[in-house]
Amino acid sequence: MDFRADLHCHSTCSDGSLLPTELVDMAVDIGLQGLSITDHDTVAAYGTAMQRAEEAGLKLLPGVEFSTSHKDISVHVLGYAFDPRNKEIIKFCNTHIEERRRRNKKIIELLIRKGFKVSEEELNDISFDGAKGKPNSLGRPHIAQLLMEKGHVTSIQQAFDKYIGDNKSCYEPGKRHSVEETIDLIHRVGGKAVIAHPHLIKRRKIVRDLMAMDFDGLEAFYAKMPLHQEQPWIDRAREKGWIATGGSDYHGSVKPKLSLGCSWVSDEIFNYFYDIYLRNKKEQEDSE
Ligand code: AMP
Ligand code: FE
Ligand code: FE
Ligand code: ZN
């Protein structure tokens, strides 16, 4: 098979149901040659995944998906090719995780006010698919899972649709970094910044603003998006001289309809990022 790399998926370190090592194994099993694990606001997956990938002969590209905000609209920014041991990126992730803790507390309070019997302690014990690694970055899917386990909803989707989806009665956006600050941080650690799933941003003005920022690429190939929807984004990337990236946004059982590798990039794009990563890796090791 031709070279394929999935540049967007989530592990148990954020809101996926597979361990980082299990994602690596699955990528090898389905014939991918490259992978990036892009957990929400954490790079903890690389603590175990990097070694597994080396052993399995899979090229693993460091990545992350930051939650940012532009004019109060949520924007996801993908970062690639930094060294995950870089202190500055770890510190940036930690500020997000702290803020998530404050935000989760507020959402739990809103749910309690609605009469649900849920607590922060219970949320901290939540994991998908039984006893797996503890998440570093706890988010709304974990709250949805808690609501389901307590019998308040019948599915994760129902929890979003009724209570915690954007602008629903128990939604709380939390304090987020700006898109510009996030791009700057990614660049400072030698990485590349990419707009995640831009087709999901409904406000044209926001997309226009993002297209004028200092991004290096946009995610043109996403999950099971049909070709006619991809083409405008491929064209926009070409006009800007940006890279058109792609990935599945696989979350395991949390989003059961998506499979790993259902969107992917070829070796040309992957190796462009991977070479940058190898240079950042060398620099990191020289500095230690
Ligand atoms: P958070 O980062 O805590 O705001 O949670 C966002 C994550 O929740 C996304 O990455 C998705 O995995 C999931 N999510 C967001 N909106 C929905 C929705 N309407 N239905 C199902 N899952 C959602
Ligand atoms: Fe997610
Ligand atoms: Fe996203
Ligand atoms: Zn994602």
pLDDT at position 5 over 90: yes
Top mutation candidate among 15, 74, 200 for ligand 1, by most atoms within 8 Å of CB: 15
Q: Which residue's CA is minimally distant from atom 16 of ligand 1?
A: 165
Name the packing angle between helices 140-149 and 87-113 (round to 10°). 40
Closest CA to 211 of 181, 179, 258: 179
pLDDT at position 1 over 80: no
Distance 131 CA to ligand 1 centre (A): 22
Average pLDDT over residues 96-125: 96
Task: Output the CA–CA distances (angstroms, integers) from residue 20 to 10, 125, 137, 206, 222, in the order listed.
Answer: 8, 19, 14, 33, 21
174 lines ligand 1 (CB under 6 A): no
**pLDDT, tens digit (0-9, with 9 covering 90-100), for 243-274:** 999 999 999 999 999 999 999 999 999 999 99
**pLDDT, tens digit (0-9, with 9 covering 90-100), for 163-197:** 999 999 999 999 999 999 999 999 999 999 999 99
Return d(Cα 126, Cα 142) in angstroms, integer: 6
| Residue 92: strand, helix, or coil | helix
Structure confidence at residue 131 as a pLDDT band (50, 70, 90): low
Structure confidence at residue 134 as a pLDDT band (50, 70, 90): confident
pLDDT score of 7? 98
Structure confidence at residue 127 as a pLDDT band (50, 70, 90): confident
| Residue 6: strand, helix, or coil | strand
**pLDDT, tens digit (0-9, with 9 covering 90-100), for 54-82:** 999 999 999 999 999 999 999 999 999 99
Closest CA to 195 of 173, 169, 222: 222
Return d(Cα 92, Cα 72) in angstroms, integer: 20
pTM: 0.96
Return d(Cα 194, Cα 249) in angstroms, integer: 14
Return d(Cα 156, Cα 140) in angstroms, integer: 9
List strands edge to edge, sheet with 34-35.
Answer: 5-6, 34-35, 59-60
Look at strands 192-195 and 73-80 and give their pairing: antiparallel
Torsion sign (Cα): 125, 128, 133, 135: negative
**Token couple for 27:** 């990528």
Q: Where would I find the H helices in 70-195?
A: 87-113, 120-124, 140-149, 156-159, 179-188
**pLDDT, tens digit (0-9, with 9 covering 90-100), for 85-96:** 999 999 999 999
Return d(Cα 69, Cα 67) in angstroms, integer: 7
**Token couple for 101:** 């803790």
Averaged confidence pLDDT in the chain: 96
15 lines ligand 1 (CB under 6 A): yes
| Residue 247: strand, helix, or coil | strand
% of residues, the chain, pLDDT over 70:
99
Average pLDDT over residues 112-120: 96
**pLDDT, tens digit (0-9, with 9 covering 90-100), for 149-159:** 999 999 999 99
Structure confidence at residue 129 as a pLDDT band (50, 70, 90): confident
pLDDT score of 47? 96
Which bound ligand lies closest to the C-alpha atom of 101? 1
